[in-house]
Structure 1
């Protein structure tokens, strides 16, 4: 073979890399082609082209570039004949059956061609309303207009465009737009697709059938490159029981290099975002982290001006601009105001339908409400008079009213595309209802309607009922939904000991809910036989590997051998052996469960199917097999000849493989021989010293003396020196192996080509290093402070005292005096090296008079360094400059300056600073910083400044800043705190934060400000505080009771249940829960549930 010579080795064509392809028939086809290519010895494109030219009987005649795409690209080749041709010639060279290989290629090509993947080509996505963009209003007098109004871009559009640009450039990214209903989130996502349309080749997938989260779970694993995943109403995907699984699949998708680029677009309301991210470590929180883009709810400033300009060309925009309040133009445009009007003027039956829909949505029901539920729930919202006035056709009439469009936009309810009649509540009314109905409990019949109709939503509804103290309704929801985990947790909470709860759960737990099955087995070991009799191992899904492993462990511990065998057989048959982390976990649990046959079968499958072109995966599997003594499977893996597949120019991969092969494993000796025959020493890339050093070591360990010698020679002449770290390792290896000449040659090359100060540490133990210190001392650029300090440190570490002094003199004579950090570091380095004379040279240049003072921390470090050098006069000069020049307005800066001066024992300079009267000038906005400054001043004995600052704080604190008032009341001396109370903060402080309110009440009571306590209580905080903060609410309730404000405490407690905050420690006297009317529930038990 002809080729260029480099370091005495033949330069062979580089192996074509395998393109990552997502799972599916195309991946199988690409895997087949690449496996043949490697088995054939990775021939060059010219060689393959020659083989094809020699055989006229082949079905195709692909040219060189086409062959490369067939092997390398992740797209389906357009010609089946070309694929079969390439497979045929490669199979001959690989000594496979050409006919069998060609037939497999044909079948896989057809399957890949027929596989639609997920989504549709973006070019065919032309209907924005199919993607749930709100239909705009339309009025008869507006005439013919395009489907969507003119779009006015805002700041969030630019941020979203940047995310889309990253996707177009090849990244997998996610963006979730957060704003209230009808603020323009989905329209912004629609507009952002334009660059991808222009790029071509993109698809869009909108998972919604049969439900959003079910569709996502089924097909997220099949999403391929250049796909937009459209997750409008993202809470429908990332909320509910399967939220963590969907989020995990999204994270896997975004991190998978085989499937990039992918763009995930979503939308959320703020309250949904808040609910989804309350658990910081959850999969949902992590997938949303960094993906959120906020969209303003209103147009203001320049955005409003631009929208008014756009309105000149679109009558819909003009109408919306004229009728919008507070800039909420998109809401009007989407029919928001018309929807409110339709709701408020609805006849009784239609309003009842909408109220039932609002309650169902805010309590957790999917936005797909069945006709049956609405029919049974709506009458509960009607008075007896209105119910008696309804016609027999009341439901159809009410639905017709609710579904009628509003000014061209969808009406309050919209029929969905589903097999059974279901209705979607308009987003705007959905959000409006959450505010309107927040403090209202639905009527008792609401729960009966829910439990008799929409079973799949009952777990969420049961949770909502439990949070409102409606325990009997919650239990009925859980029972109807067969949510045994929640049902039994509620039983435990109520202290019921009736065994029928557990017996029913065991008899009715859905066997397709593996976590519920495992939960029951763990908590009811005494009754496990009844559940095992239902044969859960044969029915539970096996795609939740963590849960399967947990169930295997339990079954094994319980001695359920038949169940272990059944479950092990099923999970091994299903398991995708490409999941290498999961493989390790499953093998471990099979071993612990005694499922030896399945363990060996799974290991054998892994050995048979691991992609041999991925050295990292092969290395990991070899290591796993060796650690677990899978000798037979190890033999199978080695029989697949990894030594002939590892990239021979990758020294790290070759070194790792040699390390694993160097042991008493069947076939290992032959694999080592195969690998050495490929001449790794002659082909290894020498761009990484660490990998080259490792390969030298591993070749030596297997006794490949000729290879070691060849690699030593090449390293001496050609090792890349752009990355010096690791060079020392190579030099040590060469010396240990006796290649002194090569070691010296490499060291001399390095000394001539690499900056000397960089090499000092790497080469300090080698003879060639004797010349380096002088080079460093004479040539190091002292204007580069970082390099200069590094060089000085290296000289000191190398013991080159004389050269360190030379360099130090150069530095101290030329270094800039402006940087305090540089000067401090230099003084420290000079002290460590014992170069006192050079330090004196630097100090003689009077750095204290010239250094910049804008970085206090570095200035403080310089003060310490000057004191350590004994330069008391410089300390005094610098401290005086600080004291005289520091701005007096920032309390944090003043505090830090006082600390620095105190640490430097600069008593005179502290007095200078205090003489400037900082108490009269410091800004009072940051009250925590002000208080810390007061403490520091007090510790310094600055009584006059303390008094002045306290007086200013008491006089000027804004009384509507509740936290500032609270901070001062809690920290001021009693006399000043009373003076603050006299100003009357109780009448001014906001009452939204219950924790702040209760602390204010406590502080006011502590200083005997009874009048202020009375004023604050008279403002009725119990009815005004936000209930969002559970801890603060409970503490406020306790505080009110302590102060004797029992009516307010009761009022606060009564607010909790309707908003889902029922607390037995606050809402006392309800051992069995409560009724919707607020009265305590009568005793009830298992017999009261249907």
Structure 2
């Protein structure tokens, strides 16, 4: 469009019709994409010289776009193309809008599509880039280590597309943390880079972004950073999308589209049928001696269960063979010593040695073979759809003792061992968890030591030697983990082990990468009266940290009272080497210099004119820097930065723009407020940040930009997907608070009560509450008529509790009772206990009493320890009748149940016999 404007001006013509030209560009892109779409496999590179890969040269199948399954047909008929015609959905428009600014050289972006398996996430990325960037350099690392190597090189330049499909491969573990930190820095500091990825919402997105989760600090920071755009992809097609799908099938004459639409009529899960996922699920659910032999079924089950227990890597033959062999009945075990390799090859290629098939329609296999290099032994991964759907149908606690033993024996990756140990601990398999954590300690996992120490101390399973062993073998590279271990040993009263740990001088070993984690270790050392060790660490910081990024380090040293170390660090002249393009770094350095009374250094830093060089990618950091400049007395610099920020700040984070508006108001930058308000009202992007729209609307109103606030509200009302109940609820509440009645009318006219996806109970509850608060009685009734108590998924106990409470508040007593009955019938006793606790906490008295009755009469009573916990909760909330009923149904073992819980369970589900550290086999 910029070239069109330039040509028009050169020719002396009037302003061109922008809409006409954009339509022409979109049409050209669509035609070009259609031309290229058939190239689903790699295109041969030109001979002579190295050529960068592109989307076109790599091809769709090599980018892991699912090949469309094909029904058996006449051998004489031509084979259909690998991919069906593509139907653009709501998320596709959001995706292109997120990519275009970065592809044009603007602020870099990480676009993350989230949703269930086989919903079209990877295909959506492929189609968007096929239309927008088919020939731009494409980098596609295979592992977190590969990604880290790329980020440390100079290969990721402006115009590069970084392909991170199945992003859990790159974001878990130590390498994943380092890669996430490096990618976030790159996106913040370099323009024109596009990174795209996909994640399952549950468990991967939730696990990586959940606050205070150990081991995911950098991945969480990346996924929630301003440069990241999360775009949800829904699993079910709406009624409108199904009609569009039918029309596309009619126009293209592709019977695979008709077949998928017919197969997904019941639940709207149409896209999944293109890859054959539901058929594979049906084949697996037939059990042994159906589509799969007993040996094959046991191998698939082992792969699925290992995944569900936390083994995120591809699985070696040894794990699958040992686990499957232990699960097979003796008369089913093969005589061929090479049985496992042959069966795994049949499951990953789709063909058995006798010519019969294991795949679905000669397309989808149950397992995928993965090799790190040509000729290397294969490792295996279960197909995604089967993996995810079985999570919902099969309790991971059903994993066999043979699988646990195989995982313990053959797993060598520290991160995987740690994840498996956490899973074992959650399932009360304490002995198994201790074995896995112990092995992870020996292999250098930084957090395994404190986790192992915590479990041994909590259940009194470790003696003097156990804690000494931990202290002697703990990894000392991560300062945050070391601080946590010191604190754990202190609280456990293991002072001799603590002394052994401190004798290893962790202050001289910890990594000096993140100031806050080192500061936490300094604080813990001071609390333990280890002032010499704390002083040594402060001295090391003052001497060794890079002088270019000293603001955060100075603040930590000042907080620790390390005045000598502060003097040493200031003596290294941090001002001359400071990165003045980083608003956060300049802010920290100014603050630290001010606290140190280093006025000359403050003015030396300001003399470098950071207001002219500061990167504007993060408006929130810019806002804070403006405020700091004002308090420092650098009003002219604050106004100069305000002018740049108002004109050029990216408009991708509504809450950050609200902070910037407040900073402009504080600076008295009235002209800049008008500039930014108009930009924000007309152009602010929403993405997955609908919950922040109200923050920006409020900020616009506070600075007097009521008209811009109304424009923004109207745009948001027209933009939000009415199938997303949480987003709609957020907007309705925000519009009500800010008095945006016109925008409310627009949003309600889109009938969210008829479109909302009811699978998320907490989101559904929020929408019911928002409609009720808006006095939309008919809409509330219509939403209740769709029976959310039946359609909600039972994954999050507290989300279900919120829904039950709202149903109670609305007087929907029958629906509330139906939901409680479902929970008791379909969920385990731990889930019922959590739900009951949540209802009691929220004050939902009627729902609490109703669930107590159903729980007492309906829960399984085979787990004595779990029953004891539920009984204690029932007594706490005063449900005496329920206590009497449940006690009469199950033997109330009292102290015996508590003691059994102390030792945990065995992998076969029985309560463990008493055991301790000395009863374990020798450490590996």
| Category of TM-score, reference length = shorter chain | 0.5 to 0.7
Equivalent of residue 360 in structure 1, options 289, 303, 306: 306
CA contact (8 A) 2:118 2:271 kept: yes
Kindly state the Cα deviation for residue 238 of structure 1 after the two structures are TM-superposed: 4.7
Equivalent of residue 481 in structure 1, options 440, 447, 463: 440
Corresponding residue SS for 1:1043: helix
- Shift of the 488–986 alpha-carbon distance from structure 1 to 2, 3 Å rule, reads closer
Greater shift in the superposed pair: 411-420 or 425-434: 411-420
The answer to whether structure 1 residue 402 and structure 2 residue 402 are counterparts is no
Task: Tell me, in whole angstroms, the C-alpha distance in 2 between the residues paired with 1:466 and 1:537.
Answer: 31
Q: What's the TM-score, normalizing by structure 2?
A: 0.59
Equivalent of residue 176 in structure 1, options 90, 107, 112: 112
CA contact (8 A) 2:805 2:839 kept: no
CA contact (8 A) 2:449 2:474 kept: yes
Equivalent of residue 604 in structure 1, options 567, 572, 578: 572
Matched residue, 1:516: 481
CA contact (8 A) 2:535 2:562 kept: no
Kindly state the Cα deviation for residue 493 of structure 1 after the two structures are TM-superposed: 1.4
Equivalent of residue 494 in structure 1, options 453, 459, 475: 459
- Shift of the 455–858 alpha-carbon distance from structure 1 to 2, 3 Å rule, reads closer
Kindly state the Cα deviation for residue 224 of structure 1 after the two structures are TM-superposed: 4.5
Matched residue, 1:504: 469
Equivalent of residue 275 in structure 2, options 334, 346, 358: 334
- Shift of the 1035–130 alpha-carbon distance from structure 1 to 2, 3 Å rule, reads farther
Query: What are the Cα deviations for residues 31-51 of structure 1, in whole angstroms up to 9, with x where unaligned?
Result: xxxxxxxxxxxxxxxxxxxxx
Kindly state the Cα deviation for residue 458 of structure 1 after the two structures are TM-superposed: 1.4
CA contact (8 A) 2:639 2:669 kept: no
Kindly state the Cα deviation for residue 193 of structure 1 after the two structures are TM-superposed: 1.1
Matched residue, 1:165: 100
Matched residue, 1:549: 519
Query: What are the Cα deviations for residues 25-66 of structure 1, in whole angstroms up to 9, with x where unaligned?
Result: xxxxxxxxxxxxxxxxxxxxxxxxxxxxxxxxxxxxxxxxxx
Task: Tell me, in whole angstroms, the C-alpha distance in 1 between the residues paired with 2:531 and 2:637.
Answer: 55
Equivalent of residue 370 in structure 2, options 416, 423, 428: 416
Task: Tell me, in whole angstroms, the C-alpha distance in 1 between the residues paired with 2:278 and 2:223.
Answer: 31
Matched residue, 1:297: 235
Kindly state the Cα deviation for residue 296 of structure 1 after the two structures are TM-superposed: 3.0
Task: Tell me, in whole angstroms, the C-alpha distance in 2 between the residues paired with 1:160 and 1:959.
Answer: 30
Kindly state the Cα deviation for residue 300 of structure 1 after the two structures are TM-superposed: 4.8
CA contact (8 A) 2:102 2:108 kept: yes
Kindly state the Cα deviation for residue 535 of structure 1 after the two structures are TM-superposed: 4.7
Greater shift in the superposed pair: 440-449 or 358-367: 440-449
Higher alpha-carbon Rg: 1
- Shift of the 1073–267 alpha-carbon distance from structure 1 to 2, 3 Å rule, reads closer
Kindly state the Cα deviation for residue 503 of structure 1 after the two structures are TM-superposed: 0.7
Equivalent of residue 1081 in structure 1, options 894, 912, 919: 912
Matched residue, 1:847: none
Matched residue, 2:143: 209
Task: Tell me, in whole angstroms, the C-alpha distance in 1 between the residues paired with 2:803 and 2:241.
Answer: 37
Counterparts of residues 819-968 of structure 1 (less than 5 Å):
none
Query: What are the Cα deviations for residues 651-684 of structure 1, in whole angstroms up to 9, with x where unaligned?
Result: xx99x9999999xxxxxxxxxxxxxxxxx9xxx9
Task: Tell me, in whole angstroms, the C-alpha distance in 2 between the residues paired with 1:143 and 1:192.
Answer: 28
Task: Tell me, in whole angstroms, the C-alpha distance in 1 between the residues paired with 2:737 and 2:486.
Answer: 60
Query: What are the Cα deviations for residues 983-1041 of structure 1, in whole angstroms up to 9, with x where unaligned?
Result: 99968975338588899999xx999xx9x999967983669xxxx9x999985697797
CA contact (8 A) 1:991 1:1021 kept: no
CA contact (8 A) 1:986 1:1015 kept: no
Corresponding residue SS for 1:372: helix
CA contact (8 A) 2:839 2:845 kept: no
Task: Tell me, in whole angstroms, the C-alpha distance in 2 between the residues paired with 1:558 and 1:965.
Answer: 49
CA contact (8 A) 2:420 2:433 kept: yes
- Shift of the 614–1086 alpha-carbon distance from structure 1 to 2, 3 Å rule, reads closer
Counterparts of residues 380-395 of structure 1 (less than 5 Å):
380-387=326-333, 389-395=334-340
Matched residue, 1:887: none
Equivalent of residue 185 in structure 1, options 121, 126, 143: 121
Task: Tell me, in whole angstroms, the C-alpha distance in 1 between the residues paired with 2:392 and 2:432.
Answer: 23
The answer to whether structure 1 residue 459 and structure 2 residue 418 are counterparts is yes
Task: Tell me, in whole angstroms, the C-alpha distance in 2 between the residues paired with 1:517 and 1:178.
Answer: 34
Kindly state the Cα deviation for residue 477 of structure 1 after the two structures are TM-superposed: 0.9
Task: Tell me, in whole angstroms, the C-alpha distance in 2 between the residues paired with 1:220 and 1:1019.
Answer: 63
The answer to whether structure 1 residue 1043 and structure 2 residue 862 are counterparts is no
The answer to whether structure 1 residue 150 and structure 2 residue 93 are counterparts is no
Counterparts of residues 709-724 of structure 1 (less than 5 Å):
none
Task: Tell me, in whole angstroms, the C-alpha distance in 2 between the residues paired with 1:1016 and 1:615.
Answer: 57
Kindly state the Cα deviation for residue 490 of structure 1 after the two structures are TM-superposed: 0.3
Query: What are the Cα deviations for residues 356-411 of structure 1, in whole angstroms up to 9, with x where unaligned?
Result: 11111111111411222222222121122223x44222111221222123334352
Corresponding residue SS for 1:178: strand
- Shift of the 217–514 alpha-carbon distance from structure 1 to 2, 3 Å rule, reads farther
Equivalent of residue 63 in structure 2, options 125, 131, 148: 131
Task: Tell me, in whole angstroms, the C-alpha distance in 2 between the residues paired with 1:616 and 1:353.
Answer: 51
Kindly state the Cα deviation for residue 422 of structure 1 after the two structures are TM-superposed: 1.9
Kindly state the Cα deviation for residue 539 of structure 1 after the two structures are TM-superposed: 3.9
CA contact (8 A) 1:164 1:263 kept: no
Query: What are the Cα deviations for residues 805-847 of structure 1, in whole angstroms up to 9, with x where unaligned?
Result: xxxxxxxxxxxxxxxxxxxxxxxxxxxxxxxxxxxxxxxxxxx
- Shift of the 961–999 alpha-carbon distance from structure 1 to 2, 3 Å rule, reads farther
Query: What are the Cα deviations for residues 770-813 of structure 1, in whole angstroms up to 9, with x where unaligned?
Result: xxxxxxxxxxxxxxxxxxxx9xxxxxxxxxxxxxxxxxxxxxxx
Corresponding residue SS for 1:1080: coil
Task: Tell me, in whole angstroms, the C-alpha distance in 2 between the residues paired with 1:643 and 1:984.
Answer: 66
Greater shift in the superposed pair: 278-287 or 532-541: 278-287
Task: Tell me, in whole angstroms, the C-alpha distance in 2 between the residues paired with 1:164 and 1:1040.
Answer: 56
Kindly state the Cα deviation for residue 628 of structure 1 after the two structures are TM-superposed: 3.0
Equivalent of residue 395 in structure 2, options 421, 433, 438: 438
Kindly state the Cα deviation for residue 208 of structure 1 after the two structures are TM-superposed: 3.1
Kindly state the Cα deviation for residue 158 of structure 1 after the two structures are TM-superposed: 1.7
Kindly state the Cα deviation for residue 603 of structure 1 after the two structures are TM-superposed: 4.3
CA contact (8 A) 2:557 2:563 kept: no
- Shift of the 928–1065 alpha-carbon distance from structure 1 to 2, 3 Å rule, reads farther
- Shift of the 481–221 alpha-carbon distance from structure 1 to 2, 3 Å rule, reads farther
RMSD: 6.0
Corresponding residue SS for 2:902: coil
Task: Tell me, in whole angstroms, the C-alpha distance in 2 between the residues paired with 1:473 and 1:123.
Answer: 45
Kindly state the Cα deviation for residue 969 of structure 1 after the two structures are TM-superposed: 12
Task: Tell me, in whole angstroms, the C-alpha distance in 1 between the residues paired with 2:99 and 2:815.
Answer: 54
CA contact (8 A) 2:404 2:907 kept: no
Task: Tell me, in whole angstroms, the C-alpha distance in 2 between the residues paired with 1:601 and 1:408.
Answer: 66
CA contact (8 A) 1:488 1:502 kept: yes
Task: Tell me, in whole angstroms, the C-alpha distance in 2 between the residues paired with 1:728 and 1:314.
Answer: 59
Query: What are the Cα deviations for residues 80-129 of structure 1, in whole angstroms up to 9, with x where unaligned?
Result: xxxxxxxxxxxxxxxxxxxxxxxxxxxxxxxxxxxx9xx95645653223
Corresponding residue SS for 1:461: helix
The answer to whether structure 1 residue 472 and structure 2 residue 405 are counterparts is no
- Shift of the 1050–315 alpha-carbon distance from structure 1 to 2, 3 Å rule, reads farther
- Return 5+ residue gaps in structure 1 as ranges: 1-115, 663-679, 692-722, 730-789, 791-854, 860-924, 934-948, 1055-1062
Matched residue, 1:449: 406
Task: Tell me, in whole angstroms, the C-alpha distance in 1 between the residues paired with 2:501 and 2:737.
Answer: 67
- Return 5+ residue gaps in structure 2 as ranges: 1-49, 351-358, 442-447, 614-624, 644-663, 671-703, 705-734, 740-766, 790-800, 825-831
Task: Tell me, in whole angstroms, the C-alpha distance in 2 between the residues paired with 1:857 and 1:558.
Answer: 51
Task: Tell me, in whole angstroms, the C-alpha distance in 1 between the residues paired with 2:367 and 2:860.
Answer: 36
Task: Tell me, in whole angstroms, the C-alpha distance in 1 between the residues paired with 2:389 and 2:338.
Answer: 29
Matched residue, 1:531: 501
CA contact (8 A) 1:459 1:478 kept: yes
Matched residue, 1:279: 211
Corresponding residue SS for 1:365: coil
Kindly state the Cα deviation for residue 585 of structure 1 after the two structures are TM-superposed: 3.1
Kindly state the Cα deviation for residue 515 of structure 1 after the two structures are TM-superposed: 3.1
